[in-house]
Structure 1
Amino acid sequence: MKRILIHAGFHKTGTSSVQQTLMHNSNCLRRNLQVFTRKHMIELCEAARAYSVSREMSDLLAFSAEFAALVEQIDPTERRPVIISSEDLSGCMPGRRGLTDYRAAPILMKAMSETAARAFNAEYKLTYYFSTRQSDEWLRSCYAQHLRATRMSATLSEYCEKYRSSADLDRIVDGVRLAVGASSVVATPLESLSKRRLGPLGGLFDALEVPSKIRSRVKALPPSNVSLPQELLDEFLLANRSDLDDDTVKKAKFEARQIWLTGSP
């Protein structure tokens, strides 16, 4: 039976580390796994983000069409399991473009299930995998990302007060279970994976039952997109609140982060 695992989120739960480790080890994994990350499905991810904002049927149909195009690259009779990994498959991160949660995710997952059912002639098993995170840490990480990538001007406490409900990731996972069937959904807290050799990727491999001999060949990488220190976040907030134009603010934040990463301008 063809096995397909869709790692659809959530943002700021180790997803970048998963994808970078998969890409870094692509040569040693190629014979045993077929892997798709965001770079292989940019249009699909953008369609998911568009639907999460608009909630228009036309955008959902566009998403289904993009997923159908991806499915065409999968041979259901070929033995290798498939990993499809991008947090954008659940839509935009809450806090972007007016969104307050991931309520589009269950509908997007259901659309993928229905598309797969039409596309595959052979027997297959489709599993949705979500990494979750303790709410306070998740909110802080999302806030830091917004400060870095946008001109968010709220303080952390203001952000948490406004978006507290968005941190109920388990509720979204429950919604996905209702949409696609509980047996097809796996969720793992990021905290339970932090001490494992492969970190967040270990949870995906568990869900896909990847043999230990394959795992042993995978080179682990340091965590990606690590938390930013408070002093850097303070600099970002000051820049966002300034009267400088967007390009100047973007450059200032980039330079500040480079100094933090390297210790020099």
Structure 2
Amino acid sequence: MSRIVIHAGFHKTSTSTPQAWLGAARGPLRPHAKIVPARGMQALLHACRACSTLPEPLSPAKVAARAEAVAWGIAGLKGRALILSAEALSGHPPGRPGIDSCAAAPALPAELTAALARRFPRAALPPLRHRNAAPDDLLHINRPISDRTARRDAKTARLRQAAGTR
């Protein structure tokens, strides 16, 4: 029986390390797993980001339709695991303009899970576990670049002043 793993998480929540590892290990893992990276599901990721930015009645339907397209675009697993990994499967994180909560995040991977369950009815789909950093932490991480640059420049100036250099 094949197993399906969906790895979704916000930017700056330690999602890049497993994604990099999966990318690097893709060749050796090929006999055991089908890995679908972000570049293999761009339309779905775009819909997920849009759903968190523009919560409109049609957004979940777009996510569902694009999740179906991803699911049906995957050839038979033949006993291999299926691993889908991308940050944007959770939408945009809080801290971006107009986004102050993680409200859309749990529903987005759930749409993909439902589509995969229809496509691979005999595959083992573990229950979704959704863990996030606190929204306040994400707001801090995702401040506009100019704010972070200004803080970094101010810190650099203080350190140089303390060291007596320019």
Please indicate the TM-score interval, normalised by the length of the shorter structure.
Answer: 0.7 to 0.9
Unaligned runs of 5+ in 2: 156-166
Counterpart of 2:125?
A: 126
Q: Cα distance, 1:76 vs. partner?
A: 5.0
Q: Residue 106 of structure 2: SS of its match in structure 1?
A: helix
Amino acid at match of 2:78: E
Q: TM-score w.r.t. structure 1 length?
A: 0.50
Identity %: 30
The answer to whether the 8 Å contact 1:94/1:101 transfers is yes
TM-score w.r.t. length of structure 2: 0.76
Shift of 1:27: 1.3
Alignment-derived partner of residue 14 in structure 2: 14
* SS of aligned partner of 2:58: helix
- In structure 1, the gaps of 5 or more residues are 156-230, 238-265
Higher relative contact order (CA 8 A, sep 6+): 2
1:200-239 equivalences in 2 (<5 Å): 233-235=151-153
- Is residue 2:64 matched to residue 1:146? no
1:1-265 matches, within 5 Å, as: 1-76=1-76, 78-120=78-120, 122-127=121-126, 128=128, 130=130, 132=132, 139=137, 143-148=140-145, 151=146, 153=147, 233-235=151-153
RMSD: 2.9
Aligned residues: 154
- SS for the counterpart of 2:69 is helix
| 1:125 partner SS | coil
Amino acid of the structure 2 residue aligned with 1:17: T
Higher helix share goes to which structure? 1
Instruction: Please say if residues 13 and 131 of structure 1, whose CA atoms lie closer than 8 Å, have aligned partners that are also in contact.
Output: no
CA contact (8 A) 1:93 1:101 kept: yes
Query: 1:232 deviation in Å?
Result: 8.1
